């Protein structure tokens, strides 16, 4: 298939491009490079053995998108483009609502106009709020999102389902990602946060490489096996492959499909730190800090539906995730910057 990949220069998008090409698909990337670098696409091009067509375009720029969709006939869009920093979204709600909501509205309208009515959307476990049941199945009711970022994911899921309900030529796959970490095995592409990382693994790798003094562990009084927060970490390469599998649902005209994309295993913050230290033989000093507002104790999924319906299942465990995150960081201490 020919796939429009919005946000394809980003962390998950760049890894997904590799798996798309490996499976025989081709892609065109639209990204405004707000949170990414063209260098990521150059490196993906080297891995897949051909240059990835790229348009530095904002998805809110209707004319810019029109140009791309007039030029190619796409079978499907994988829609990664969006702002994703939870804390920043609390400080800048308008910017988050405007970018994520309006960007998707323009994208859907232009897609419809050009007869491309298949979309795979990057949703998030955040839509479950503080989950009613663990492990989380897709049946679990959506919960209250404590931040504008999460609200945009939850609302866009509803928007996409409404669009499909009104016009059943649409096929919509909502992939609810759990916690993606890791990097491609070459260590040439990976997660490249700007400034102080918000997420656990990039913070750990920056402590390990000496850029930050110590990791703050946000709370050790949760109701978990060691008191620290438990999450379902998933290797980004496994996550990337889930998108390729999701294309099969699009191909069989699934209507709406909703899938949890995680491993089904929960690891605490200290489990991750200990695994990282053991696998990589490096130190990660840490100290216990107060809980981070908005965090929940435990979040991991039941990924059985994705296995049954998409034939997708995570292959990598926490050791590979820690190894590959470190491989990327140590080979690229400054990310994509020279």
Would you please indicate which residues are annotated as catalytic (active-site) residues?
A: 149
Binding mask 91-130 for ligand NAD (x = CB under 6 A): --------x---x------------------x-x------
Any contact of residue 336 with ligand NAD (CB under 6 A)?
A: no
Segment near ligand NAD (CB under 6 A); pick from 29-37, 210-218, 264-272, 321-329: 29-37
Partner interacting with residue 69 (select from ligand UFG, ligand NAD, none; CB below 5-8 Å by kind): none
Any contact of residue 157 with ligand NAD (CB under 6 A)?
A: no
State the Rg of the chain over Cα: 19
Separation between Cα atoms, residue 152 and residue 33, nearest integer Å: 20
Any contact of residue 113 with ligand UFG (CB under 6 A)?
A: no
* Residue 68 vs 230, nearer CB to ligand UFG: 230
* Residue 55 vs 286, nearer CB to ligand UFG: 286
As measured in angstroms, the least distance from the Cβ of 86 to ligand NAD is 9
Partner interacting with residue 229 (select from ligand UFG, ligand NAD, none; CB below 5-8 Å by kind): ligand UFG
Any contact of residue 33 with ligand NAD (CB under 6 A)?
A: yes
Nearest-10 crossing angle of helices 103-113, 62-71: 40
Segment near ligand NAD (CB under 6 A); pick from 26-34, 46-54, 162-170, 288-296: 26-34
Binding mask 264-293 for ligand UFG (x = CB under 6 A): -----x----------------------x-
Whether 128 and 143 have beta carbons less than 8 Å apart is answered as: yes
Segment near ligand UFG (CB under 6 A); pick from 6-14, 91-99, 119-127, 130-138: 119-127
| HSE-up (13 A, CA, CB side) for residue 191 | 28
- Which residues of the shown chain bind ligand UFG in the complex (CB under 6 A)? 84, 86, 124-126, 177-179, 198-200, 203, 215-218, 229, 231, 269, 292, 295
Contact residues for ligand NAD, defined by CB under 6 A: 7, 9-13, 31-36, 58-60, 80-84, 99, 103, 122, 124, 177, 179-180
């Amino acid at each position: 298939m020919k796939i429009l990949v919005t946000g394809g220069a980003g962390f998950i998008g760049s890894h997904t491009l590799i798996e798309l090409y490996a499976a025989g698909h081709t892609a065109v990337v639209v990204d405004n490079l707000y949170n990414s670098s063209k260098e990521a696409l150059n490196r993906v091009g080297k891995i897949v053995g051909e240059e990835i067509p790229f348009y530095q375009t904002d998805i809110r720029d209707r004319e810019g998108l029109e140009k791309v969709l007039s030029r190619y006939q796409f079978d499907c869009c994988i829609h990664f483009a969006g702002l994703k920093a939870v804390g920043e979204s609390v400080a800048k709600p308008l910017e988050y609502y405007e970018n994520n909501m309006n960007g998707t509205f323009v994208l859907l309208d232009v897609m419809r106009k050009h007869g491309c009515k298949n979309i795979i959307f990057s949703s998030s476990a955040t839509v479950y709020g503080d989950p009613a049941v663990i492990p989380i199945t897709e049946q679990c009711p959506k919960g209250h999102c404590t931040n504008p970022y999460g609200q945009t994911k939850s609302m866009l899921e509803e928007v996409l389902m409404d669009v499909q309900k009104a016009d059943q030529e649409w096929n919509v796959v909502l992939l609810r990602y759990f916690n993606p970490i890791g990097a491609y095995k070459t260590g040439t592409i990976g997660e490249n946060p700007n400034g102080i990382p918000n997420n656990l693994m990039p913070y750990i790798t920056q402590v390990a490489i000496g850029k930050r003094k110590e990791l703050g562990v946000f709370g050790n009084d949760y109701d978990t096996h060691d008191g620290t927060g438990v999450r379902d970490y998933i290797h980004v390469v496994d996550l990337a492959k889930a998108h390729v599998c999701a294309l099969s649902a699009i191909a069989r005209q699934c209507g709406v499909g909703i899938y949890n994309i995680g491993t089904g295993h929960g690891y605490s913050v200290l489990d991750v730190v200990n695994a990282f230290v053991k696998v990589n033989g490096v130190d990660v000093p840490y100290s216990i800090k107060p809980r981070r507002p908005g965090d929940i104790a435990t979040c991991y999924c039941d990924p059985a539906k994705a296995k049954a319906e998409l034939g997708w299942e995570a292959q990598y465990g926490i050791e590979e995730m820690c190894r590959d995150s470190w491989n990327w960081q140590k080979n690229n201490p400054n990310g994509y910057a020279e």
